[in-house]
Structure 1
Amino acid sequence: MARILAVDDEESILDIIRIGLGKEGHQVSTVSDPRKVDMLHLDYFDLVLLDIMMPGMDGFELVRRLREATGVPIIFLTARTDQADVVRGLGLGADDYLTKPFHLDELRARVDAHLRREGRARSQVLTLGEFRFDMSAKELTCGDRAMNLTPTEYAICEFLAVNRGHVYSKEQIHREVSGLDPRGEAAAVATHIGNIRAKFQEVGMAPIHTRWGVGYLWV
């Protein structure tokens, strides 16, 4: 499994990428506004998929910024086939490009090829204030204290922390964490979050907030 960041202003494209690569076991995080890409925690990801034509900040500028922060493979997804654009993108640090519309089989093949080529163990650590996620060991610490979380509790925390600031319903959390049909079991998420909050309270922290009638978010 790889952790993949997809940046595209077309939500339909992001849905295709998330579902298509998710079936291969990859964890896909999506961003529709390139200005909202978190440059401080790019080491979390193994590969980036990036559109060129986006409002606010185009893919050329974003890949330049990405290359200042990470060395992971970057694949352009673009409707622009002009050779000068391709050369410019590769010159700025992209590793490959795929022309829209693309077939999922080709996307999967390109992604797998770059992940195999990368072929190196990378430290997967996410630090948010006092919290430190060791995503290889699946451990969470707060300051010097290890949080005694169950695997499911850890998975919920990691998902919300990686997507911090975004609100997710119980159904969405259950689907993203377990990969199962959420019907009939999503209510258990509220119980897990209650247990997580009790453990966070022991260290005087409360990073998971509730948006009543909507869901939960890490702030």
Structure 2
Amino acid sequence: MSATVRVVIVDDHRMVRSGVRAELAVDPGIEVVGEAADVAGAVAAVRAAHPDVVLLDVHLPDSEGGVPAASAGSGGAAVLQECADLLAGEAPVRFLALSVSDAADDVIAVIRRGARGYVTKSIGGAELAAAVRRVAEGDAVFSPRLAGFVLDAFGAAAGEVAAVDDELDRLSAREREVMRLIARGYAYKEVARELFISVKTVETHVSAVLRKLQLSSRHELTRWAAARRLL
């Protein structure tokens, strides 16, 4: 991946695309290299630009002027599927869902198809740019309350992995809670609020987790957790 993160914006509302483009333009390390308003246009834009990250709306029409389908993940899931086939064997293009919807079915539908994260359109511009950068680096990013949907959906598999994971067994129950939230993208203050502990205590737990797992950063922690299906 180049130093500049190259982004394609996919949304069927022109004003939304313009607004997202303007927000990302503030970050000199992000370049918008394409836009699309429907499934066919999205696939074509990804083929033409081969971006690092695609910001993908969940509900899209199949073609320009069509009506977005109402079923979970419709449109966005189709883009993910078609691009997976199109890009097989090539450098990765990572997808970050950006939607007004915070429904569990929508979140799970696109994550199952390969999206690396899901944030809602209430996100701020600086937060969105940070999310794009993290996804480009291979991290998984979710709006805090949405991460629970993913954990619930894949919880059984995560439990099976955890049961036989010697590295995970090094962590205390509280360290595991902190680890999962940090790996999902929660800020220290959000972890503290979620677990009813102080920020200093969160910092202490994170240091202990990184030391026990022999990791050097929260980005490495996210990759470690994703490889074990703990997100």
If the length of structure 1 is used for normalisation, what is the TM-score?
0.49
Larger RCO, structure (CA 8 Å, separation 6 or more): 2
* TM-score, normalised via structure 2 length: 0.47
Report the structure, 1 or 2, having the larger helix content. Answer: 2
